[in-house]
A and B are shown apart, each in its own frame.
Chain A
Amino acid sequence: MRHLWNCFCRELGLIKESPRYLILLTAGILFSYVFFLTFMHEGQPENLPIAVVDQDGSYLSRRLCHEIDATQGVVVVAVYNSHSEAREAMQRQEIFAFLEIPAGTYSEVLDFKTPHLALYSNNAYLLAGSLSYKTLSTIGKLTSAAVQREVMRKKGYSEDQIMGMIQPIEIDAHLISNPWGSYLPYVLTTMLPGIIGVMALLLTVYLVTNEYKLKTEKIWLSTAGGDMLKALIGKLLPYTCWFTLLGVVGNIVMFGFSHFVCLGSFFALSVALLLFVMAMQSMGVLLAGLIPDQHLAVSIAAIYGMLSFSMSGFSYPVVSMPPALQAFSYIFPLRHYYLTYADVAMFGATFTQYWSHLCWLLCFLIAGCIGGLLLNRLAKCDSNKAAIEC
């Protein structure tokens, strides 16, 4: 225990000597929190710019414009005369969708013919395109419903009968744990801990390889009484505490101040965060053990770290990836943190349901132990080499 404590104190001393990295990383993490919380503060984009191509120029088309403008989702920023103008505006990214009302629409409605409206949405920008499409298609349906209602009123149906005719089925959608359909909880709850994890990973690789690069590994080991495991724990513990603290504070901001839904226990989430940081550090130790060259190790860690955002499956589900990659996703701790988060916060799961994810996170500690063995061998090799040279 004394060795562990010595190692811990030595690392604190090192931080005090050159706190630049820790300050840089902490500033980066704080910046991401501020960035993401302010960047998407709307939750779901509102008032997306769209256009109307009005070739009819009638009472009906004018009224449609106003109706569209009055919805929350979109705002009509321009009325064009031709399709090509609107398409070019879309390519300039001035609008995300447009509604084309062909000439003679109103008179055809009055004649009981069926005029066709056309609705174009830009799917190259998935979120904006599909949201504006959704609003416009609602308007399209409502247009039909409005005409239908007028006709039926004239025929003498009662209002209830009319409603039954126009809308025989209604879907009552319940969005579990995110009733607003907001993007914030969806992106932030996994992305921000992910950034913390990647920082912890990179820092671990850097710090451990740095001992070998500066040839201080013997001093480091001797502080821990020659035990690599103690040396590693003592060295990495200050960072484990710090990153977990940052993560928990972040979660308090998200689930407390920003009112994201957390149905389960916050404590469980914090434990998951602690295990996640430890898992990332363990992977860092493994990488440092496998690749003694500092530059190469940090580069590889960067590639691995960046992939964990995609492989966690919070944006694009893992089940839709090719089977080989699905198996590959298990070696990314962020995947297991995301699953724990979804279980605990979104579904209010109890320990019996989410324990397996925590076990997976614990398994990563084995990787850390293997990394420790490799590092130990490396230290011995180095000292042997030094002895031979002497």
Chain B
Amino acid sequence: MKSFWHNITAGLKDIYDVFTLELYRIFTDGGVMLIFFVGSLIYPLIFGAIYKHECIQNLPVAVVDDSQSASSQRFIHKLDATPEVNVDFHCNTLAEAESLMRQRKVNGIVYFPNDYSDRLAKGETARLCLFCDMSSFLYYRSVFAGASSVMLDEMKHIELERYAMAGVTGQDAETAITPVPYEDVKLFSPAGGFTSFLVPALLALVIHQTLFLGIGILSGTAREEGQTVAIVPERLRNRSVYRVVIGRSLAYMMIYIPLVAIDLVLLPRVFGLPHIGRLGDLCLFFLPFLLATISFSMTVGSFVRQRDTGILVCIFFSVVLLFLSGVVWPRSNMPLFWKYFSYLFPSTHGIQGFVRINSMGAHLKQVQFEYQMLWVQSGLYFLTTCLLYRVKFFKYKDGAVCI
């Protein structure tokens, strides 16, 4: 019994020693401090500033009115009044508008053919042409949304006129035009903005990537300095990898709990992003997210032989991970291989779960799959880390590498 207690206290002491040593290493490494503290706080602030405005408003468009009629002018006035676009140029020919588009002075052209009003007068379908700048999808979205909202409004106006000519007016005409009206409800981000959609995902990615990068750099530095995978107190060399892994994990946990609280709880409130998730669910979700990220980073980190390799790998993977998370490109449409590939990374489940709890008010029950996967990853990567550390410790057991 006594030896049992002795083992426990010795183990705890070892863990504590590894923990303090790791903290010392973090706080004495400028690069790691930069990534951990400056990176994880500056990036969200910059992203918040870049994507400050949810939607694009008042995009300049040019109008070419060959019809020169009251109905086309009414359309143009209404178009100018939409929040999405501004009619900045009235051109006489399509070529003139085209050259404006080439000079990038307008992001769209609306063209009314000369038979526009004639067709309307005859009760036929009138056609107008819309040319969209596709250099950014948000231009296309805004120009198209502006033009189609005016079109719907104009259509109603014209239909009412036509029914009136046929002797149907008032409520009867309204019912005749839209016998089955529909209401659209845009859930979780009523403005349909880019910010509410992208920034929460980026915040979770920043946590994942800074942690991954920091641990990668620390492992790389240790290797560059001729150590094994981690610097450990002398008496712990060659034994008890669990204590080393747990001790290091605790150090990262301690640093990242406040950072997660700032980035993923405080900042959505400061930036006015959606934050309808319950705090309890969020905290319960962050625990496996951090654990999985830390163990994953330590596993990958043990392959990093040089400090800067970690940075290269991380940089290049950031963009890929954002796409793999399924926030930008829907998960239902991913090729099967990439879908399963994405399950390897804690960021995939972390981003998904965070977005759904934070922005969509999901309970833990609805992110059950992600939650379980993160715990599985935590366990699995913990074991692989221990295994890799053990292999590497043994490799250097003969004392070829000393402090």
Residues 88-122 of chain A, each 1 if its beta carbon lies under 8 Å from chain B, else 0: 10111100100000000100010011111111111
Q: Across the interface, do A175 and B329 meet the contact criterion of CB distance under 8 Å?
A: no
Interface status of A177 (Cβ within 8 A of chain B):
yes
B: interface residue count bin: 35 or more
- Which chain A residues border B2 with CB–CB below 8 Å? none
Complex CA–CA separation, A343 to B51 (angstroms) = 24
Whether B185 pairs with A173 at a CB distance below 8 angstroms is: no
Does B136 have its Cβ within 8 Å of any Cβ on chain A? Answer: yes
Residue of A with least CB distance to B337: A38
Residue B251 CB within 8 A of the other chain:
no
Q: Mark A122-139, 1 if CB is under 8 A from B, else 0.
A: 111111111001000100
A325 to B50, CA, bound (A): 7
Interchain CB contact under 8 A, B126 and A148: no
- Complex Cα–Cα for A42 and B334 (A): 9
Pair A45/B320 contact, Cβ less than 8 Å = no
Closest to B191 in A: A123
Question: Bound complex: CA of A199 vs CA of B312, how far in Å?
Answer: 7
Q: Is the CB of A147 within 8 A of B132?
A: no
Residue of B nearest to A118 (CB): B183
Which chain B residues numbered 294 to 323 have a C-beta less than 8 Å away from chain A?
307-309, 311-316, 318-320, 323
Instruction: Kindly state whether residue B184 has any CB partner on chain A within 8 Å.
Output: yes
**B134: which A residues are within 8 A, CB to CB?**
175-178, 181, 186, 346
A160 within 8 A of B: yes
Which A residues touch B335, using CB under 8 A? 38-39, 41
The docked-state distance in angstroms from the alpha carbon of A42 to that of B330 is 12
Q: Do B128 and A125 touch (CB < 8 A)?
A: no
- Compute how far the CA of A25 lies from the CA of B178 in the bound complex, rounded to whole angstroms: 59
> Does the CB pair B185–A128 fall under 8 Å?
no
Determine if A176 and B132 form an interchain contact, defined as CB atoms under 8 angstroms apart. Answer: yes
B154 touches A169 (CB 8 A): yes
Check A176 against B133 for contact (C-beta < 8 Å): yes
**Alpha-carbon separation in the docked complex, A165 to B140 (Å):** 28
- List residues of chain B with CB within 8 A of the CB of A90: 187, 360
A31 CA to B361 CA, complexed, in Å = 36
B21 interface hit (Cβ, 8 Å) = no
Closest to B54 in A: A320
Across the interface, do B315 and A164 meet the contact criterion of CB distance under 8 Å?
no
Q: Please give the distance in Å from A6's CB to the nearest CB on chain B.
A: 27
- In the bound complex, residues from chain A placing their C-beta under 8 Å from that of B162 are 164-165, 168
Query: Known: A109-B180, A118-B185, A310-B47. Is A171-B148 also a contact (CB below 8 A)?
Result: yes
With contact pairs A124-B355, A168-B126, A295-B217 given, residues A144 and B181 touching in the complex (Cβ less than 8 Å): yes
B322-371, CB < 8 A from A: 323, 326-335, 337-338, 352, 355-356, 359-363, 366-367, 369
A47 cross-chain contacts in B, Cβ below 8 A: 332-333
Cβ of A35 under 8 Å from chain B: yes
Q: Are A124 and B196 in contact (CB under 8 A)?
A: yes
Q: Are B180 and A105 in contact (CB under 8 A)?
A: yes
Residues in A130-169 with C-beta less than 8 Å from chain B = 130, 133, 137, 140, 143-144, 147-148, 151, 160-161, 163-165, 167-169
Binds A, one of B3-11, B97-105, B261-269, B391-399: B97-105
**B25-58 to A contact mask, C-beta < 8 Å, 1/0:** 0000111001100010011001101111100110
Contacts of A322 in B (CB 8 A): 49, 52
Task: Give A297 Cβ to nearest chain B Cβ, in Å.
Answer: 9
Q: Residue B176 contacts which of A151, A173, A206, A307 (CB distance < 8 angstroms)?
A: A151
Contacts of B319 in A (CB 8 A): 32, 191, 195, 309
Q: A48-B332, A128-B330 are in contact. Are A137 and B182 (CB under 8 A)?
A: yes
Complex contact B30–A293 (CB within 8 A):
yes
Interface pair B180/A45, CB less than 8 Å apart: no
Q: Is A289 an interface residue (CB 8 A)?
A: no
Q: A123-B186, A169-B155, A176-B132 are in contact. Are A148 and B176 (CB under 8 A)?
A: yes
CB atoms of A40 and B329 under 8 A apart: yes
Chain A residues, CB < 8 A from B338:
35, 38-39
Q: Counting CB contacts under 8 A, is B382 at the interface? A: no
Asked if A202 is at the interface (CB within 8 A of a chain B CB), the reply is: yes
Beta-carbon contacts under 8 Å, B77-133 to A: 101-104, 120, 122-133
User: Contact: A314 with B186, CB < 8 Å?
Assistant: no
| Proximity string of chain B (131-147) to chain A, C-beta cutoff 8 Å, 1 when within and 0 when not | 11111111111001001
Q: What CA separation (Å) do A214 and B238 show in the bound complex?
A: 31
**13 sample A-B contacts, Cβ–Cβ < 8 Å, listed by A number:** A38-B335, A38-B338, A91-B361, A109-B179, A116-B182, A121-B187, A140-B184, A143-B182, A199-B312, A295-B30, A315-B136, A315-B137, A346-B134
Q: Told that A124-B187, A171-B147, A302-B314 touch, could you supply 8 new A-B pairs with CB distance under 8 A?
A: A24-B312, A31-B316, A38-B335, A91-B367, A109-B179, A147-B179, A305-B315, A316-B194
Interface residues of B (CB under 8 A from A): 29-31, 34-35, 39, 42-43, 46-47, 49-53, 56-57, 101-104, 120, 122-141, 144, 147-148, 151, 154-155, 158-159, 162-163, 174-190, 192, 194, 196-198, 213, 217, 221, 274, 307-309, 311-316, 318-320, 323, 326-335, 337-338, 352, 355-356, 359-363, 366-367, 369
Which 10 A-B pairs rank lowest in CB-CB distance, beginning with the nearest?
Answer: A123-B189, A295-B31, A91-B362, A128-B330, A140-B182, A342-B135, A117-B182, A126-B197, A147-B179, A178-B134
